[in-house]
């Protein structure tokens, strides 16, 4: 018998298990019942479970903001896209972070220069200190951003700079991680899964060094969120 043959391997496995059952005195009828129960359970479609969460925009916005702030993100709310550049400029001025950075190309049409910002729509490089992105989804349950890589939203913009500013339209809020994946399946650009999906819950961090929490260990150590209520 050649065990390179799948049929032979299956037969050998069944023979070994049969001898084990005989040695243990297992009742064949009971074994058959258990196997049927397992097959039935594996074949049953179980609806995913999720905690009850508000799925209205106001409720999700409040929950998302609370969770994001607990994860050390800073948050500001604006009424519409037109207020975004000024809100970003105000944050940078408050923190003394300058006015230069890179943005996801999909955001290039916003009037950044009118707010005194010199931003370039391109992938980030090592020397870039500020990256501004949008997001595909914002998950209210955990305060997490879901970003999909694409030509208009390169992953480097959110990962390389020291400061990451993310623009979060209220229409992009979802209650749970399950809802985020469902939306990705329905609305992913081009109908295809992206090459990379990044989840961001506050600044990068590590507790490996003497169990002391350190921000910015392997990515941005500032995450600032601009919630756009009217978008």
**CATH number of the domain that residue 104 is part of:** 3.40.50.10420
Is the pLDDT reported for residue 216 higher than 70?
no
The answer on 72 and 176 residing in a single domain is yes
Q: Summarize the confidence of residues 201-219 as an average pLDDT.
A: 67
The answer on 63 and 167 residing in a single domain is yes
pTM for this model (two decimals): 0.75
Kindly give the residue spans of alpha helices, DSSP state H, lying in 45-137.
57-70, 84-95
* pLDDT score at 49: 67
Helix (H), strand (E) at residue 130:
strand 130-133
Range of the domain at 152: 57-228
d(CA 12, CA 134) in angstroms, rounded, equals: 56
The answer on 178 and 215 residing in a single domain is yes
* pLDDT score at 217: 60
The answer on 29 and 109 residing in a single domain is no
* pLDDT score at 186: 86
DSSP 218: S
- Residues 71-123 have pLDDT tens digits of 999 999 999 999 999 999 999 999 999 999 999 999 999 999 999 999 999 99
Across all residues in the chain, what is the average pLDDT? 88
How many independent structural domains does the chain possess?
2
Share of the chain above pLDDT 90, in %: 58
Note whether 103 and 112 are within 8 A (CB): yes
The answer on 218 and 182 residing in a single domain is yes
């Amino acid at each position: 018998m050649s065990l390179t043959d799948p049929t032979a391997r299956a037969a050998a496995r069944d023979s070994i298990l049969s001898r084990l059952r005989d040695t243990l005195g297992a009742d064949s009828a009971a074994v058959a019942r258990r196997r049927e129960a397992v097959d039935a359970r594996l074949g049953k479609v179980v609806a995913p479970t999720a905690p009850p969460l508000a799925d209205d925009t106001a409720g999700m916005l409040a929950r998302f903001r609370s969770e994001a702030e607990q994860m050390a993100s800073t948050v500001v709310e604006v009424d519409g896209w037109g207020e975004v550049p000024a809100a970003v400029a105000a944050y940078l001025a408050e923190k003394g972070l300058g006015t230069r950075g890179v943005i996801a190309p999909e955001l290039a049409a916003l009037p950044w220069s009118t707010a005194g910002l010199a931003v370039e729509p391109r992938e980030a490089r090592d020397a870039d200190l500020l990256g501004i992105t949008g997001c595909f989804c914002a998950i209210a349950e955990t305060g997490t951003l879901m970003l999909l890589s694409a030509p208009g939203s390169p992953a480097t913009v959110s990962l390389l700079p020291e400061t990451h500013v993310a623009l979060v339209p209220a229409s992009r809020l979802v209650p749970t991680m399950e809802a985020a994946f469902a939306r990705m399946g329905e609305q992913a650009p081009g109908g295809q899964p992206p090459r990379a999906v990044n989840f961001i819950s506050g600044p990068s961090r590590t507790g490996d060094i003497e169990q002391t929490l350190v921000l910015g260990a392997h990515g941005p150590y500032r995450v600032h969120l601009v919630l756009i209520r009217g978008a």
